[in-house]
Amino acid sequence: MLVEESAMATATITFGCSLNQAEPHHVAEFAQRAEAFGYDRLVAGEHVQDGNPPIPRILSLPVLAAAAAATRQVRVMSGIVIAPLYHPVMLAKLVATVDRIANGRLDFGIGISGQRSTRIEYDILNVPVETRGRRTNEMLPLLRRLWTEQHVTHKGEFYQFEDATLLPQPVQKPCPPIWIAGRSDAAMKRAATLGDGWYPYLFTVRRLKESNETIRTEAQAAGRDLANFRFGVAQPTSISEDRREALAVAVKNLGKYATAQRSAEDVAKGLCLTGTVQDCIKGIQDRIDAGVRHINLAFLAKDEQDAYRQMELVATQVIPSFR
């Protein structure tokens, strides 16, 4: 059964703001500013270890706990938790704890990590990377059971435990909505059959539309009603009064995905919401036309102050066009 979506989210386009631009000790202030600007959702991603040599990364759920404790209305979302790196009992407990701190404002986004450096974090935790999809498929129904039942026993391919009762359970009933992130056909099928929402990233508008159609097809084949399903996107964003400056920032961040067939500039234009206010309004409308209803903006910022600048610019000059 799908977790029910609120009437507000069904009727409107919602906008989230990534917390990953904030220094860890500034998360509370960053979250309060985003809430004051009227964002619907605060999002935090994670890696245990990212890159070689490693670059600094923090974990999603502790960041969301800090953001939730500092705010009152804005929702908080893991975008994403790398689910196969956790034991399902511990992950269920962490999620329930954050939903309690947030008083029922948590959206739980999960994925298996598609970064080029993915194998590093799986290896250091002794989790075979080739099992990550199957582990997640086994885990998702288990999480729902652990949030809604008592005395849960499970004997599966990867996880075995007896008589698990996790109290207190989440505030949200039956549980926080589960968004499935990814880019592959397997991730789309996972979202269509096991999730409450689809959360792709680094997709062109064309791929967004195709993925949403694929999920509807997969859900229909599984006999699943998607009336309350959430279609979202993790959207890299670079907005400025100077179109060339905004594009240069996008190229710097996303140019690594260039190929012999596509230049760094073409890649940045295709994957990023970039340009002036009017450019970004058009880009958002294109994504809405592709079927997206929940847009989480990850500002490609030089520093915190630049993130605040972009956050305010979008809140005051872009989002009102969709309210």
* Residue 2: inside a domain: no
At 148-191, the pLDDT tens digits run: 999 999 999 999 999 999 999 999 999 999 999 999 999 999 99
Of 55-59, 62-66, 243-247, 286-290, the poorest mean pLDDT is in: 55-59
Which tokens go with 222? 């599984």
Strands 14-18 and 106-111 turn out to be: unpaired
12: CB partners within 8 A, 6+ apart:
322, 323
pLDDT for res 117: 63
- Helical (H) or strand (E) element with 14: strand 14-18
Residue 4 clears pLDDT 70, i.e. is over it: no
- Helical (H) or strand (E) element with 92: helix 88-101
* Residue 141: inside a domain: yes
236: CB partners within 8 A, 6+ apart:
202, 250, 253, 254, 271, 272, 273, 298, 300
Burial class (CB in 10 A: 0-12, 13-18, 19+), 178: buried
Residue 165 has what DSSP assignment?
-
Residue 111 has what DSSP assignment?
E
* Residue 1: inside a domain: no
Residue 5 clears pLDDT 90, i.e. is over it: no
Using only the alpha carbons of the chain, give its radius of gyration: 19
Confidence of residue 258 (pLDDT cuts 50, 70, 90): confident
At 204-239, the pLDDT tens digits run: 999 999 999 999 999 999 999 999 999 999 999 999
103 neighbors 171 (Cβ within 8 angstroms): yes
Residue 69 clears pLDDT 90, i.e. is over it: yes
292 neighbors 212 (Cβ within 8 angstroms): yes
Domain membership of residue 78 as a residue range: 7-322
- How many percent of the chain have pLDDT more than 90? 85
| Number of structural domains in the chain | 1
pLDDT for res 8: 35
Task: Summarize the confidence of residues 273-291 as an average pLDDT.
Answer: 98
pLDDT for res 249: 92
Q: What is the CATH number of the domain that holds 252?
A: 3.20.20.30
Identify any residues that bridge with 14 across adjacent strands, giving them in sequence order.
294
Looking at every residue in the chain, the average pLDDT score rounds to 94
Which tokens go with 252? 């710097």
- How many percent of the chain have pLDDT more than 70? 95
At 39-61, the pLDDT tens digits run: 999 999 999 988 778 888 899 99
pLDDT for res 3: 60
Residue 193 clears pLDDT 50, i.e. is over it: yes
At 7-45, the pLDDT tens digits run: 333 448 999 999 998 889 999 999 999 999 999 999 999
Which tokens go with 262? 């596509």
